[in-house]
Amino acid sequence: MKTSINKNNIKAILFDSGRVLNVSSTGHWFITPNFFTYVDKQIFNNISKSRIDLAFTKAGDYINSQKLIVDETEEYTHFFKYYSIFTECLPELKLTEEDITNITKDYVYNPNKYCFFEDAINVIPKLSKTYKLAVISDAWPSLENIFRAAGLRGYFPSFVISSKLGITKPNELMYKTALEELNILPCEAIFIDDNKRNCDGAEKLGITSFLLCRDKQSYIYNKIIDKNQNIIRNLEELEKTLL
């Protein structure tokens, strides 16, 4: 439900990560920065999109079934299986176990797999001077080191990763964990996500939500169809609203 913001009551801002603060540096969440060092790009590009999508889907079915992944060691183990399944679906790539190992290492340990939006880099430090900040993300443990490498981890006293809790948004535990760690009430927080379902999950707890639509077409569409949702195009709009 669209809510008029009383800035004096707000003490914390809770952020989703992917597509809100950062995005894949390659344009695909599971094609790592050095993916084509080990995968022949010409062969890859000659495979039909439907087969590539199916390979990622089958690998995704596996990783999404692993609800509890608490550290990078476990993340590595499971993503080695992920890329092994991917490889089995596309035998013409002729990836060796060493290739799969290197791709997996690149996924788990390379902080450059994601890049941060410019507005996130600029706005987060400003907001942190006035508000407690949290990340609430459906992600794996390596996300935290990505924030460290970008110099942003220190701005977030609470950093909630779904795989460490064994649940994903919009499960209320995701939001409540951040609220408890920041020692605030739901009415004292706002939540930003690019997914309407996750915004609704926050609203059910009494947290005011903002749907972030970076794409112009999506922004206009949601503005038209959902008059009850706070909608912003970028984090600079959020900054203007609050500061």
Cα-based torsion angle of the residue sequence 72, 75, 77, 82 in order, rounded to the nearest 10 degrees: -150
Cα 205 from chain centre: 21
Alpha helices in the chain (DSSP H): 35-38, 41-46, 49-65, 72-89, 97-109, 118-128, 143-149, 162-165, 172-182, 196-204, 216-225, 235-242
Model confidence pLDDT, tens digit, residues 9-27? 999 999 999 999 999 999 9
For 198, phi then psi, to 5°, come to -70, -35
Model confidence pLDDT, tens digit, residues 54-110? 999 999 999 999 999 999 999 999 999 999 999 999 999 999 999 999 999 999 999
Mean pLDDT confidence for 138-153? 98
On the question of pLDDT at 1 being above 60, the answer is no
pLDDT above 70: percentage of residues in the chain? 98
Please report the pLDDT score of residue 172 as a whole number. Answer: 98
Confidence band of 3 (pLDDT split at 50, 70, 90): low
Alpha-carbon distance of 199 to 208, in angstroms, equals 8
pLDDT above 90: percentage of residues in the chain? 95
On the question of pLDDT at 143 being above 50, the answer is yes
Q: How is residue 4 written in tokens?
A: 């008029």
